[in-house]
Amino acid sequence: MRMTAEGLALIKRFEGFRADAYRDAVGVWTIGFGHTAQAGPPAVMAGMRVSREEAATILAADVEQFATGVRAAVTVPLSDGQFSALVSFTYNVGLGAFRGSSVLKAVNAGDFAAVPGRLALWVKAGGRTLPGLVKRRAAEAALFARATAAPEPQPPQSQPPEPQPPPDIQPPQPASLWRLFLAALRHLFHI
């Protein structure tokens, strides 16, 4: 299971890029593509600034950390698209929330049809439904559902070749069989 470019683009689109540190909807200091100190270094504080390139480097480290956490929590095989949808979700809500979520319970039960609906429940921050979270969960649910409906192509399985008779042995022809039969009769009856 690996993060896809589509999954990474989803995170970037919904997090957006902010060069200057800001407080998010629940008051947590955030910078770049949604990086918080809870995700790991660097610690975000007032007055901090990052370039787009620095933010992309931080994002890559954060996504790998969340991907590792999702891999550890999931007990069933997933397509890369399903996995990417879950990493995006976890990037937003945190590993602790993901581990205790009904989303993970449905995934590990193999109830993939229930996952989009479970994702749609996670649209509140600070006790309020946020339109941005509603859109993000819809995008994550769509990515998960697409990846569930259309499994990723597998390489074709090679079939063993059909056995062929060795080239120097030819099956007897009908006329040859008749001659063999007559020869056997002559031998038996001494004709």
Query: Which residues have C-beta within 8 Å of that of residue 85, sequence separation ≥ 6?
Result: 7, 10, 119, 140, 141, 143, 144, 147
Question: Which of the residues 15, 53, 140, 152 is marked catalytic?
Answer: 15
What is the distance between the alpha carbons of residues 126 and 22, in angstroms, rounded to a whole number?
16
Specify the length of the chain in residues.
191
Q: Provide, for the chain, the percentages of residues in helix, strand and coil under a 3-state DSSP scheme, each rounded to the nearest 5.
A: 55, 10, 35
What is the distance between the alpha carbons of residues 33 and 49, in angstroms, rounded to a whole number?
12
Tell me whether residue 15 is one of the annotated catalytic residues: yes
Q: Annotated catalytic sites, by residue?
A: 15
